[in-house]
Chains A and B, each alone.
Chain A
Amino acid sequence: MFCTHCGKSIEADTRFCPHCGNSQAAGASAPPQAAAPPMPAMPPAAAAPAGPARFAPPQAQPAAMPPGMQAPTMQAPMMQAPMMQAPMMQAPMMQAPTMQMPPAAPAAAGGGMGKPALWGGLGAVVLALVGGVGYWGWSQKTAGDELARKAAADEESRKVAMAQTEQRLAAEEQKRLAAEKAAADAEIAAAKVLLDKHIAAEESAAQAQAAARPGGLLPPPTVKR
């Protein structure tokens, strides 16, 4: 028989696979479907191996997936998402292509209805695994994209905030310079007024002195003829 987990050939009635250590008792291993979101049931035709000696590589499998799962989000995350390299996730992905089908001849020779059903079940499990991993990758990619979008948005808002700060500082500097200039204008205007007042006061005192002296008032401003 073959291990229901790693697919390697093991002795019949073996409870635990000597290769991967997983229990061979029915229902002893919880398939990853438990973590996978509900998926449409695989059509038996797609799930059943068509007789080739090996499983199709995982990349080919999505072709049989529902349209919603086939988008680039299926493959791209498998290639790109960093989380895909985590050992937990790699195990099924790496092992799936290397799973060996039992030799065709003995299977055929063995006959019986239990074997195809077993293989079909195994295939379904593998497909479910692949789909689950794909979905997980997609969700991770989505989450990654979301993070990237958030980071970009944060960066953008940081830039906007910086630009706003710079604009505010420039405006404040302009306001400060304008205030200084206004103060200087006012100071100079005030100085001119004071000078004019001083001149007027001294001229008027001079007029008064001249009036008090013999010779009388100074003549008013006139045009000489």
Chain B
Amino acid sequence: MGLSGRGPGQDPSRPNAGDRRHVAPPQPVAVDAATTVVPRPDRRSFDISRKNADGSQVVISQKTLPDGSQRLSGFRQTEDARTGTVNRIYSDGARVVQGRDFERRTLGSGATFVTKRDGLREAVAPDGRPVFQDRFTAVRESDGRTHQMIERTRYARWVQGKPQFEPTPVVRRYEVAQFHGQPTSYYRPARLPPEHYHGIRARYAVPVALAAVGTYVAFQSMSSSSAAPTYSDPVALMGDMQIASGFEEGYAYAAPPSGAPGVYDTPEAAALRSQMSSVQGEVNSNLKGNQALQGQLGGLNMQATSSQVQQSVGSAVPVQVSEEVREQIRKQVRLSVALQQNGKPLALGDVLSSGYARIYLFQTAQPLNVAGVSAPGECFLNTGDLIGFSRLPEATAQVAEMRVVASTPNSCQPGDVVQVKLTDLQEMLNGFTERVEENLKRVTACAAAGKC
């Protein structure tokens, strides 16, 4: 079987499901009256926290990655007690606003995603035009009863790094139900015309490349040296399309297309990077003359500079994906296509009770800030990142511990265990089904054009 007791993407060096890697909170070390340094458990990474005179807080995080390279990031946080909002601006220009009943994320490209407490979501393009928007609607069933649904109108989709507006908005409906005490929306796919399903059952006489279906290879197979694989099996093509198009979209959200203005150069982001640099300098000079502090911090290397923030922005390197993960995604695509033909939603509750939840992979649909379990602090899940259960959630849990399986460089690292809300997991399942639907259409179009 080749997996040797591991689920797809499970790190062999880490225990299987069921382990808890909660880490004791690290002790902050005061460098001066306003600045503390918090070493991370690996003793090679740390956070510097500085309280500013205006009440805002700057947090600088330096992480040492498994390959030894260092990544620097940071944010400035301000709180508005009157409105109950917490604002964070990140060193790459991204911004997160958490309100009492919403959370809004603006990414490097300027695209903004909003999630509301009632389950509605929306996305806005950098130019302010809506990409998609949810609203509640009442639907009358054949038995005469009406029930509430969420209707999502999609105006555009990201194609090769840019929002491409649909000639006619696409409307999708989501059933709403309470799951583990939270309003959760389930996408019930619409059946496509039969020719869409014919296309994935016939092998191609001439192998097809991903480029033929308008997808560039945003991932790299760990077991294949071929940079541009070709496919005779439509399911294999669909599987890799699913992975590649996810990462492609994630990269598009993270950085503006070349030449377009992004949020990296906004004055606030530039001011933050400048302050990060000066805070680092101050901490370094304090450490130089203070043996006791150096001892407390265990010789942390604080040499990374804020210039490294820039290096981590917009570097769309192919994501490493193992063969097991590709195989698993292929199977999930097959299942999704079959469910779509049968008009069934892909529901989290079904996955959890299926007996195969442990090997099931979730593809991040919309960018998320998530709390680390294996390491303290937060990290990001960007569109396309693949995660699997680290442990199955309890019956009443609202979050699940998930292990990152494959991710873009600016995301949580593969192997990290993070907490993800169950409503976000369901959104990932919805996104997966929708992506399969989109890709099915693209493959059908490719076949119709004689390219596949």
Contacts and interface: CB of A to CB of B under 8 A. Distances in A.
B341 A210 contact: yes
A199 B334 contact: yes
Contact of B359 (A188, A202, A222): A188
Contacts of B198: 218-219
A173 to B, nearest CB: 14
Q: Chain A at the B interface: mostly helix, strand, loop or mixed?
A: helix
Interface stretch (A46-54, A65-73, A143-151, A190-198): A190-198
A199 B201 contact: no
Nearest to A181: B5
Q: Chain B at the A interface: mostly helix, strand, loop or mixed?
A: loop
B417 to A, nearest CB: 17
Given A202-B342, A218-B194, 11 more contacts: A185-B5, A188-B5, A195-B356, A195-B360, A199-B334, A202-B344, A205-B342, A210-B341, A219-B198, A222-B202, A224-B202
B355 A190 contact: yes
Given A185-B4, A219-B198, A202 B335 contact: yes
B228 interface: no
A206 B5 contact: no
Interface of A: 180-182, 184-185, 187-192, 194-196, 198-199, 202-203, 205-206, 209-210, 213, 215, 218-225
Contacts of A185: 4-5
A222 B203 contact: yes
A206 B341 contact: yes
B196 to A, nearest CB: 11
Given A184-B5, A202-B335, A209 B202 contact: no
A199 B359 CA distance: 14
B334 A188 contact: no
Given A210-B194, A210-B197, A191 B202 contact: no
Nearest to A225: B205
Contact of A199 (B7, B16, B204, B331): B331
Contact of B334 (A192, A203, A209, A225): A203
Contact of A196 (B4, B202, B331): B331
Contact of A221 (B3, B201, B342): B201
A213 to B, nearest CB: 7
A184 B391 CA distance: 13
22 contacts: A187-B358, A188-B3, A190-B355, A191-B358, A192-B1, A192-B356, A194-B354, A194-B356, A195-B335, A195-B359, A198-B354, A199-B334, A202-B335, A206-B338, A210-B197, A218-B198, A219-B202, A221-B202, A222-B201, A222-B202, A222-B203, A223-B205
Contact of A206 (B203, B342, B359, B360): B342
Contacts of A194: 354-356
A206 B192 CA distance: 12
Given A209-B342, A210-B194, A219-B198, A224 B205 contact: yes
A181 B334 CA distance: 29
B39 to A, nearest CB: 31
Nearest to A222: B202
5 cross-chain pairs, A with B, having the tightest CB-CB distances, nearest first: A202-B338, A206-B341, A185-B5, A191-B356, A195-B356
B203 A195 contact: no
A223 B203 CA distance: 5
Contacts of A213: 194
A188 B341 CA distance: 27
A182 B4 CA distance: 9
A9 B357 CA distance: 108
Interface residues of B, number: 31
Contacts of A203: 334, 338
A218 B338 contact: no
B339 interface: yes
Given A218-B197, A219-B198, A221-B202, A188 B338 contact: no
Interface string B335-354: 10111011010000000001
Contacts of B360: 195
Contacts of B201: 218-222
Interface in B270-307: none
Nearest to B339: A202
A219 B447 CA distance: 16
B162 interface: no
B157 interface: no
Contact of B356 (A180, A198, A202, A225): A198
Contacts of A184: 5-6, 16
B356 A199 contact: no
B359 A192 contact: yes
A191 B203 contact: no
A182 to B, nearest CB: 8
A224 B204 contact: yes
Contacts of B5: 181-182, 184-185, 188
Contact of A215 (B194, B337, B339, B359): B194
Contacts of B339: 202
Contacts of B334: 199, 203
A198 B335 contact: yes
A224 B357 CA distance: 36
A182 B357 CA distance: 19
Interface string B417-452: 000000000000000000000000000000000000
Contacts of A223: 202-203, 205
Contacts of B204: 224
B351 to A, nearest CB: 10
A182 B5 CA distance: 7
Contacts of A219: 198, 201-202
B342 A191 contact: no
A196 B357 CA distance: 13
A109 B204 CA distance: 140
Contacts of A187: 358
B367 to A, nearest CB: 28
A220 B356 CA distance: 28
A198 B359 CA distance: 14
Contacts of B356: 191-192, 194-195, 198
Given A189-B1, A195-B359, A202-B335, A209 B341 contact: yes
A221 B199 CA distance: 10
Contacts of B359: 188, 191-192, 195
